[in-house]
Structure 1
Amino acid sequence: MKYTCTVFFVIATLFFSTGTPATPEDIPALKSVEHGNITVALMNKTERLMKQYITESESKSSEESTNSTENCIKSCEATTKIMKNEKQFMCRNLQNALAAYTRNTRKLIRDMMEDNQKSLDYLSSQIKELTNRIMFLNLESWKNNVEPLPHKPVMSHGKDCTDIMDTMGSFTRLQNGIYIVQPEGIDYPFEVFCNFDYKGGGWTVIQRRSEGIIDFQKTWSEYMDGFGDLLGEFWLGLRKVYHIVSQKNTNFKLQVQLESVDGTSAYSAYDSFWLEDETKFFKIHLGRYTGTAGDAFRGYRQEDNQSAMPFSTSDVDNDGCTPSCILDDKAFESCSTLNNKSGWWFNQCGLANLNGILQVNEKSVLPNIQWDTWLSEGTLVKIKSVKMMIRRTSYPDF
């Protein structure tokens, strides 16, 4: 009984340890049992099987570990790739969204600016139209000695053309033309022609000759009050010029523009210009000269200098010819009479008179406008048109 059980145990151990029935190779082990060596045989067999099992287990574990590592590496690479793709996708979406937002924002701002500019342009045009309309109606009423609104004076655009440019020019584009001014210190307005194009604008035109239509052979009172057409040839008037240049905290300069019969242009500028009042016969005072036509106001000799001279006409003689002046060995009592009864700041006549006779017809120009420092190859230039303009050079502190 003991022998049989031992054999069965050995066979069962071999079967379960290998997973297969005992083979002929295992017979010697069984026989060894019969000879009483069962314990040694069993131990040897068991040891051999255990070594085989450990080897197979280690091999299997190594394969599983290798497979696991490979699977992990593959899984990590796949995950990294997916995350990278997702990141790139999100970045592209974000960039597209930012670009679209930027475009929409710019378009919105541009549309708003265009709408605001259109509104400003429209309002500016309306203001200008209404202002001009009011000025026109007030001027017409003023000319007809009709008060447009009781106890309210005629509205002016400004104190002078420079003041108009500084105030109205900030919200509307000013055009050359007639404006109403009321210089500081007087209680009535008057019309002037403003030039807003030449050298920065703000010029008040005080004299213009171009066609010879307007007769400049005038009396003292006419030269004081002014005459002619502001849109054509005119003399603004000594009183008006005096009121403009005598405003407090202002300095004015004078610009003389000349054009010859052949179309050549030149100018003379004085950085200071002012007049004394009527009791001093509107004596002229001039500053430093610059230009291309020469300083005819001062001339070449002291006796030619017309600066600081009073204004003269044929009926009010202040020309310094006491009792008479001599020119080309001929004596005469009045420079105005010698110059076709025109008015000017004569000093024993001198080299300048922009109010002389000007005759223009289809065939020829017969000028007697003097600016005798303007020469071409040593010969006096014949002048067919002239313009005198003034503007502020310094501004009051506000």
Structure 2
Amino acid sequence: MAKVNLSIVALVVTVLLLAETWAQNPRKRMAPPKPPKAQCCDEVRSLKVQVANLTSILEELSRKQETDLMSIVRQIMELDKQNRQQEARVTEAESKYSEINNRVEIMQLQTLQSAATQTSTDAIYDCSSLYSKNYRISGEYKLPKDDFLGTPELNVFCDMDTNGGGWTLIQRRKIGLTSFNRDWKQYKNGFGSIRGDFWLGNEHIFRLTRQPSTLRIEMEDWEGQTRYAEYGFFTVGNELNSYKLFLANYSGNAGDSLRYHNNTNFSTIDKDNDKCVDDCAARRRGGYWYNCCTDSNLNGVFYRYGEHTKSSDGITWYGWHGSNYSLKKVEMKVRPMGFQP
């Protein structure tokens, strides 16, 4: 009886051990049977087919995307072309408007000028008038007061020799002792010595050029070479128009370096009338018809021996010596258009 009980106990222990081992390894207990090799091959082939199909779809999508992108690029290029054409048309229209406006202003000035020419044949109002009365020696003259023109008595320097004579000087630079970095009032009334360096005065220049005039600019460098620029049409507006410059019909051998300043107002250190963000009168240190800023600066700083700083504030004429060479001598002179010696 005791042996039977021992056998039962041993059997129970064995069962318990097997149960514990089974509980600790459930994956082995639940592992599915391995599929046969043929089934694996079929699945691989199916996956390859799916991959090939997806690759084909992706390639097709990529080609379509590339086509769409090229189409968008072409559209952008076409829009850019149209935009440039539109900008060109706007620029052309603005240029034509400016030209028309310029012509209107010139016509208005010429209307005023025609009234100014209705003076007595005996009137003396500039050096050409003196020349016509047989004053043929270059030098200083006194123009009498003219109530009709509203001009006061004025000392002027007349050039009776150059190219037929009859020229009234409105500016001279040759000594370098007179500063041209002046305010509006001084440029309006004039300053300097009539036999040395001077500016005749914007108000006087306006009155001299109320009849259509010719401007001649004569220059000399520090090597003794000379050049000139002549403008067949030259006139200056009144103070209400900021002494605006109008000129045309260049001739000469110095280069056309005043055309850039056409249709610009006069600026000084205390009146910034230029067409630039910068204050050109302050940067160029003079009074002038500054645009943005200069192709010439005949009222700039007098630098000896030509070369000067790179600030372009010297007495410059870009068409001859560029922006960093200050000229030795300059004369600006006017006489009526059509003057006959």
Normalised by the length of structure 1, the TM-score is 0.50
Bigger Cα Rg = 1
Match of 2:280 in 1: 335
The Cα offsets for residues 208-252 of structure 1, whole Å up to 9 and x where unpaired, read as 001101111100000000000001110000000101111xxx321
After superposition, give the CA deviation of every residue in 1:15-67 in whole Å (9 maximum; x if it has no partner): xxxxxxxxxxxxxxxxxxxxxxxxxxxxxxxxxxxxxxxxxxxxxxxxxxxxx
Contact between 2:136 and 2:160, CA under 8 Å: does it hold in 1? no
Q: Where does residue 314 of structure 1 map in the other structure?
A: 269
1:267-298 per-residue CA deviation (whole Å, 9 max, x = no partner) reads 00000100111101000000100010101012
Measure, in 1, the Cα distance between the counterparts of 2:245 and 2:136. Answer: 34
Quickly say closer, same or farther: Cα 1:385–1:296, change in 2 above 3 A. same
Q: Counterparts in 2 of 1:226-265, with a 5 A limit?
A: 226-246=190-210, 250-265=211-226
Instruction: Give the aligned partner of residue 216 of structure 1.
Output: 180
Give CA deviations for 1:131-184 in whole Å, capped at 9, x if unaligned: xxxxxxxxxxxxxxxxxxxxxxxxx982100011112x1xx6434223324465
Q: Percent identity?
A: 32
Residue 327 of structure 2 corresponds to 383
Distance in 2, matches of 1:255 and 1:223, equals: 20
Relative to 1, partners in 2 of residues 1:173 and 1:320: Cα closer, same or farther, differing over 3 Å? closer
- Partners of 1:382 and 1:365 in 2: CA distance: 5
Give the whole-Å Cα distance in 1 for the aligned partners of 2:290 and 2:190.
Answer: 19
Counterparts in 2 of 1:162 and 1:279: CA distance versus 1, 3 Å: same
Aligned twin of 2:318: 372
Q: Distance in 1 between matches of 2:272 and 2:264?
A: 11
Paired with 1:235 and 1:344, the residues of 2 have a C-alpha distance of 11
> In 1, are the aligned partners of 2:274 and 2:292 still within 8 Å (CA)?
yes
Aligned counterpart for 2:291 among listed residues 322, 335, 347: 347
SS in 2 for 1:359: coil
Residue 159 (1) aligns with residue 120 (2):
no
2:279 is aligned with what amino acid?
S
The alignment of Structure 1 onto Structure 2 pairs a total of residues equal to: 213
Paired with 1:231 and 1:344, the residues of 2 have a C-alpha distance of: 21
Q: Is the 8 A contact 2:307 2:325 kept in 1?
A: no
TM-superposition CA deviations, 1:92-136 (whole Å, max 9, x none): xxxxxxxxxxxxxxxxxxxxxxxxxxxxxxxxxxxxxxxxxxxxx
Cα deviation, residue 188, structure 1? 2.2
Query: Quick one: structure 1 residues 173 and 240, their matched pair in 2 at CA, closer, same or farther if it must change by over 3 Å?
Result: closer
Match for residue 163 of structure 2 among 188, 199, 202: 199
Unaligned runs of 5+ in 1: 1-155, 299-304, 325-332
Structure 2 runs not aligned, ≥5 long: 1-121, 309-313
Matches for 1:36-185 after TM superposition, within 5 Å: 158-167=124-133, 169=134, 173-182=136-145, 184-185=148-149
| Separation in structure 2 between the aligned mates of residue 242 and residue 226 of structure 1, nearest angstrom | 12
How many angstroms apart in 1 are the aligned matches of 2:330 and 2:184?
21
Partner of 1:290: helix, strand, or coil? Answer: strand
Partners of 2:130 and 2:318 in 1: CA distance: 35
Letter in structure 1 aligned against 2:317: W
Q: 1:187 to 1:241 in 2, by over 3 A?
A: closer
| 2:73 aligned partner | none
C-alpha RMSD of the superposition: 2.3
* Residue 295 (structure 1) aligns with: 256
Is the counterpart of residue 358 in structure 1 residue 306 in structure 2? no
